[in-house]
Amino acid sequence: MKTAPVTRFAPSPTGHLHLGGARTALYNWALGQSGGRYLLRVEDTDQARSSAEAVSGILEDLHWLGLDWTEGPVWQGQGGDPHGIGPFFQAQRVAGYQAAAETLIERDLAYPAFETPEELDALRAEAQTEKRAFRYRCPADFDREAALARRAAGEPYVVRFRMPRHAVAIRDAVLGEVSFEADQLDDFVILKRDGFPTYHLSVVVDDEAMGVTHILRGQEHLNNTPRHVALQQALGFREPVFAHLAIIFNADGSKMSKRDKDKVARAAWKALEQAEPERAQSLGARFDADTLAGWAKDKKSQLDAEVLVPLAEALGLELPYIEVEDFRRAGFLPEVLCNYLALLGWSPGEKDAEGKDLERFDRAYLREHFELSRLGRGNAKFDADKLLAFNQDTLAAMPDAEFFAAWTAWCARYAPAVLERDVAWRERYAAAIRTRCCTLADAATLAGPGGFVWLADDAIVFDEKAVAKHLAKGEPSGLARLGEVREVLAGLDRFEPDGIEAAVKAFCEARELGMGKLAQPLRVAATGSSASPPLGDTLALLGKESVLARIDRCLATYGGI
């Protein structure tokens, strides 16, 4: 009988969920939920970098993606411990790691090591001088009894695992057999000076205790795997199935990293300091000049999102999307993001109705059809345009009510001022611009297809090409027609789409004009351009007062044409 898979996603709570982590969670969820179990574990043993806020952010990201868990931290009605394998926070499981380390010491498979950070730095420098990689190995003159006595006397130490002096081979479901020679492996630390485990020990102990059968993770973890296999063998644990996933790269071939956002912002900040020092000084006072100065000098440093996001906004900068929260803020739908993420390393192996490779599917399809054999070996390239096209197609196919609900939820989180508008107006607006939006954010931003409704009447910027084409030409000109129809619109009692369309149509028929001869000048006057939702919707959304004010401004601006 085939063993039901037990998978886990085990993030470190050091910030919002990275896109690569989200894909790892998605694959583990899909495999574990298809007749097996999927659990969530928080690897928070790095006390300096972990935080409760980051834990909450990651759980929120997973929930938004629809990757809910039945085993794991209890959060907003999710999670629990039906199989008695918790707790699911590693910081609460330290005693078990220490016991495992002690077992290895007793069997002489691990040992206390007492080098200071300065001594280790000297060993690394020596290796660099000799042009060889630094690999820590137990000293030839190591005295086990003396080391145990030093430990008992209270001398600070770490515990190192005695790595086998032979090659270690692993069998990977994606990459096949991968062998690591002995000279590539070192005696690595499994217990730190503070008594907390390193990642290597805690992950091995927990995967065994929680019955994990399949470990799906990024290829950046591949070099850790021989260490984990050696630990599993030393502790007498099962060896789970490993599947190392393709690394996600940016379109330019660089590895997608959380530091990408800081890289872009840092370059813009330095350019501002050079070009506009007074403005940079003002922003520095707003965001803490000392923090920004240190960040600008250190290429590896990262600003907290609470500082980086508003700084980017102040710089007029769009940061690259790296974390799940970035895509959520940008207005992507969770089901679309999951669909696209699934394709970054996995293929359904089926054709769609047009005979093309199937690309569009939901989470239920993925859960039903996910197989390790369909995972690819090659690296995946993130195509932002393709994701955007997926999102636009999905929005365009949504019923108006569904789009309105999704947009309202987005506004509640990112643009609450929009919700101050009347509900009926927002429903009409959402229905009018839905098919023109690429993201939910498009519906609430000045750059979106409905941006004209968010501008003040005197802030409309007229497209000069549209003015030349639709206002200046003709006899009488579009501008002259605009002045005539203004009075018709001013006389309407109910400024609703149907009534506006009927009035403009009657005006055109009376003068034997095609609708476009008048609709386009009206669009230019009301929105600044010749592209907008249907004319009746466009003018009704603005309201009579704004439409008349905008027509008057247009006439005043271009009356001399």
In this structure, are residues 31 and 370 in contact, taking their beta carbons and an 8 Å threshold? Answer: yes
What CATH number is given for 455-558 in this structure? 1.10.10.350
d(CA 58, CA 54): 6
Please tell me the predicted confidence (pLDDT) of residue 1: 47
pLDDT of the residue at 374: 96
DSSP 406-423: HHHHHHHHH-GGGGGS-H
d(CA 499, CA 134): 79
Under 8 Å between Cβ of 344 and 23:
yes
Structure tokens at 497: 């789409």
The domain spans of the chain are 93-245, 259-321, 455-558
pLDDT score, position 253:
86
Q: What is the dihedral of CA 271, 275, 279, 280, to 10 degrees?
A: 40
Instruction: Measure Cα distances from 173 to 46, 139, 205, 344, 423 in Å.
Output: 30, 36, 22, 17, 52
Under DSSP, the state recorded for 220 is G
Q: Tell me how far apart the terminal alpha carbons of the chain are, to the nearest angstrom.
A: 83
- Residues 420, 426, 428, CA angle at the centre, nearest 5°? 160
Please report, for residues 246, 427, 480, the alpha-carbon distance to residue 521 in angstroms, rounded to integers and kept in the order given. Answer: 53, 26, 10
State the DSSP string of 152-180.
HTT---EEEE---SS-EEEEETTTEEEEE
| Inter-residue contact 403 to 410 (CB < 8 Å) | no
Give the CATH architecture of domain 93-245: 3-Layer(aba) Sandwich (3.40)
Continuous H helices in 422-534: 423-433, 464-470, 478-490, 497-510, 515-527
All residue ranges of the chain with pLDDT < 70 are 1-2, 560-561
Check residue 287 and give its pLDDT: 86
pTM attached to this predicted model: 0.92
The candidate with the shortest Cα–Cα distance to 485, out of 468, 500, 465, 464, is 500
Distance separating alpha carbons of residues 176 and 375, to the nearest angstrom: 12
Cβ proximity of 218 and 22 under 8 Å: no
- Report pLDDT for 164: 93
Residue 560 has a pLDDT of: 67
